[in-house]
Amino acid sequence: MKSVDAFRKRLRELGLAGANHPSPLLCDDEALPAPQSPLSRPVQFDGFRVGNRFCIHPMEGWDATPDGNPSEHTCRRWQRFGESRAKLIWGGEAVAVRHEGRANPNQLLAASHTKSGLARLREKLLTAHRDCYGSTDDLLVGLQLTHSGRFCRPNDRAKLEPRILYHHPILDRKFGLPSDWPVLTDGEIRSIIDDYVAAAELAADVGFQFVDLKHCHGYLGHEFLSAFTREGPYGGSFENRTRFLRETVEGIRAAVPSLALGVRISAFDVVPFRPDPESSVENAPGIGVPEDFSTCLPYHYAFGVSPDNPVEYDLTETFMLLQCLNDMGIRLVNVSCGSPYYNPHIQRPALFPPSDGYQPPEDPLVGVARQIAVTRRLKERFPNMILVGTGYTYLQEYLPHVAQHIVREGHVDFVGVGRMVLSYHDLPADILRGNAFDRKRICRTFSDCTTGPRRGLISGCYPLDAYYKASEEAKTLRSLKAKSTRNE
Ligand SMILES: Cc1cc2nc3c(=O)[nH]c(=O)nc-3n(C[C@H](O)[C@H](O)[C@H](O)COP(=O)(O)O)c2cc1C
């Protein structure tokens, strides 16, 4: 799309904007520089002053050392986050609270032997920011804490070692879990809570200002929210399904009262998707279709989903979750959705699917608009909360035009950027300086940052970042992709 008008026309064609639309996706005519841009306005809350409205989302690189310390690639990524000019760093990337909860054998770990490594990583980011912008006084940096639950691969990139809370009729089948696979006991859950508390203490000790208790993307925290069918204190009622969250918060507050808390949520979900074999063309995977859920109704296996029609979202419990966070004095919430493992088109709208994905079943702009509209509804209901929005990368050239409009209207507090900063890390700086866009670095959602790790490689922007483009991994990735195209 060559102009803002063409972009707006496309939004209207897709039914995402128009005269009587209840929640249209709107954008400004031009991206403004600081200080005119609403994106340059600081936010104050809970004793923090955050210098602008850009947030860097957490993004793993699958590139830590086997013992969970940062590698040179990890350090480079965090350094670039610091150079970006974004003033909110939401966690850097997911850091596992124990080895068995790692999503891959190269995920960062929070443990005594990684403490100085994590401190170094944070320091790299701060130094880079200070060198570029003079001060870090208005920079807020947190650490994302995670346990990967159903998607643990701690020892071998190709081998799932799931820690599940309940048996899921579709995900068990999809990921080959036998019906007698053990579920985590209540005692094991309590010891995981202890790990979160220890990791939070460590994060506070090395200077992180907040930790995110990750509740999104199908990982353990998120799975608690959908543990309708689990017996005992951590399953069934909404109160029980949020007990893990509440007990973790209580534990951290008792151990490190000064540490701020945030939560990244999957505000809504849909049933898992799969490629439709009927629609496979020219060796590409088919278009995404929902897995058969006809024998699973009412659907009690996802959070923020209509139980009678689980391809539609339902925010009833999402509102309850935000109320629960609000009641605990947690105002900082990063709003995401779905899972990259079973419905990536919802979570990371993209034109090109990852290698284990499917062709987009909708225009990716529909996915972007869905995330923006849901976040707006949450903000309207909880104006006091500080919300970070997700899913902006696919907007490409029009990211600043949309982001600026939404922030000005107060529909979100921070605009989170994910994939875009892997290819174009200083995009926030360019926007705020009023520089012309470096179009060659705009993420075109090729999904190689996801395909790489799915094929056992480190993550990064292979098509556009020279650092990865020139690497041995890039050659391996090209040949793996070529091979799989021939075989499929
Ligand atoms: C390579 C890669 C790694 C990611 N790692 C994490 C992670 O560690 N924690 C997390 O909450 N989200 C993670 N995400 C999701 C992003 O934070 C973000 O929600 C997603 O990319 C959508 O935002 P975007 O449209 O700006 O890319 C990851 C995404 C990518 C592409």
Band (pLDDT 50/70/90 cuts) for residue 484 is low
Domains and their CATH numbers in the chain: 23-487 (3.20.20.70)
What is the residue-averaged pLDDT of the chain? 96
Looking from the CA of residue 449, the nearest atom of ligand 1 is 1
* Average pLDDT of the segment spanning 400-409: 98
Residue 280: which H helix or E strand, with range?
none
Task: Give the confidence band of 337 by pLDDT, cuts at 50, 70, 90.
Answer: very high
Q: pLDDT tens for residues 271-310?
A: 999 999 888 777 788 999 999 999 999 999 999 999 999 9
Q: Is the pLDDT of residue 485 over 60?
A: no
Task: Give Cα 328 distance to the centre of its chain.
Answer: 23
Pocket test for ligand 1, best of 348, 356, 423 (most atoms within 8 A of CB): 348
Instruction: List, for residues 103-152, the tens digit of each pLDDT value.
Output: 999 999 999 999 999 999 999 999 999 999 999 999 999 999 999 999 99
pLDDT of 359 strictly over 90: yes
Residue nearest atom 28 of ligand 1, based on CA coordinates: 59
Tell me: pLDDT of 256 over 80: yes
Confidence of residue 487 (pLDDT cuts 50, 70, 90): very low
Q: Is 88 helix (H, G, I), strand (E, B) or coil?
A: strand
Residues near 347 by Cβ (< 8 Å), separated by ≥ 6?
217, 266, 336, 337, 338, 339, 340, 391
Task: Tell me the chain's radius of gyration from C-alpha atoms.
Answer: 21
Residue closest by Cα to atom 16 of ligand 1 = 418
* SS3 state of residue 24: coil
What is the pLDDT at residue 49?
98
Say if residues 196 and 252 touch (Cβ distance below 8 Å).
Answer: yes
Mean pLDDT to the nearest integer, 227-245: 98
* pLDDT (tens digit per residue) in 23-54: 999 999 999 999 999 999 999 999 999 999 99
pLDDT tens for 441-462 read 999 999 999 999 989 899 999 9
Q: Pocket of ligand 1, candidates 55, 59, 212, 336: which has the most ligand atoms within 8 Å of its Cβ, to mutate?
A: 59
Q: Cβ(94)–Cβ(214) under 8 Å? A: yes
Pocket of ligand 1 (CB under 6 A): 57-60, 93-94, 144, 214, 216-217, 264, 336, 348, 390-394, 417-420, 449-450, 459
Ligand 1 centroid, distance to 416 Cα (angstroms): 10
Average pLDDT score over residue span 370-393: 98
**Is 274 strand, coil or helix?**
strand
Nearest-atom number in ligand 1 for the CA of 212 is 11
pLDDT, mean of residues 336-344: 97
Of 483 and 188, more confident: 188
Average pLDDT over residues 81-100: 98
Please indicate, yes or no, whether the overall pTM of this predicted structure exceeds 0.85.
yes
